[in-house]
Copies of this chain bind each other. A is one copy, B any other.
Amino acid sequence: MDLWYTEKHTDHSGITLRIKKTLFSGKSPFQQLDIVETEDFGRMMLLDGLVMVTERDEFVYHDMITHPALFTHPAPKNVLVIGGGDGGSIREIVKHPGVEQAVLCEIDGLVIEKSIALLPTMACAIDGSDPRVTLHVDDGIAYIREHQNAFDVILIDSTDPIGPAVGLFEEEFYRLVNGALKEDGIMVAQSESPFYHAEIQRAMYRNLRAVFPIVEMYQAFIPTYPSGLWSFAFASKRYHPVDDFDRQRAASRPFATRYYNEDLHLGAFMLPTFARENISA
């Protein structure tokens, strides 16, 4: 059977990938979850029919949602991930030797369960093998409300602002995150495509600027995401991701990275003009 998956990024354009077989297909209380084997991109997880991660290009997303914050904060010990049930962000966080506690708070237990079963290269640190890691199957907003002044870094590894993630793009949520961070804490959130999602970005960055003194956007290239150009919001209470970046510490990291490096850290904040304009105040 010649099977193709096509994701429309708009009504009129998208990507198409040849599929070898479906490994899992089911419905949780929150969303439709599918895990398929592609010809080109390895295994791929879809939520409500949209690509979340593929084995071939997840290194970009997971390098870039984690390392810029963890190498800007001078000594991150307590790190929280909201969402990110595939485990890829936690895998990168625990590569930092100074991290003492990495908490995953994912609303959908089925995502965690099937990632551990079917996406082991991503879920390798949420399978119980690392004592620094704890998992909570819980609503991120509720969790954060109950854990104020607790974290050095909080990463919002969410889906798009539709469905269960919609509250994770609102000012009220960012106020809770601000409170859950210690006085010099950093939040990073995936912030959609500058090419396709200018309106979402405008609202999101306005909400962030109402809460955090330092708010910057940075970019990464993710082939299976709409347009290939993706972005992250860096929101911080004290440290600036460029001005306070210790290039030498990042350069002497004790692990390999296929996307992130100490130069790219700086370059990622140097945005195309149209992307900068999306979020100009």
Contacts and interface: CB of A to CB of B under 8 A. Distances in A.
Given A221-B227, A228-B228, A13 B6 contact: no
A136 to B, nearest CB: 32
Stoichiometry, copies per complex? 2
A50 interface: no
A273 interface: yes
Nearest to A259: B272
A15 interface: yes
A11 B16 contact: no
Interface string A253-281: 00011111101101111111110100000
B60 A272 contact: yes
A39 interface: yes
Given A223-B227, A274-B259, A16 B10 contact: no
A263 to B, nearest CB: 4
A14 B15 contact: yes
The 9 A-B pairs of least Cβ separation, nearest first, read A228-B228, A267-B270, A12-B39, A267-B267, A12-B18, A221-B229, A263-B270, A223-B227, A12-B40
Interface of A: 6, 10-18, 38-41, 57, 60, 195, 219, 221-223, 227-229, 256-261, 263-264, 266-274, 276
Given A256-B273, A267-B267, 9 more contacts: A12-B17, A219-B221, A221-B229, A223-B228, A257-B273, A260-B272, A267-B268, A267-B269, A267-B270
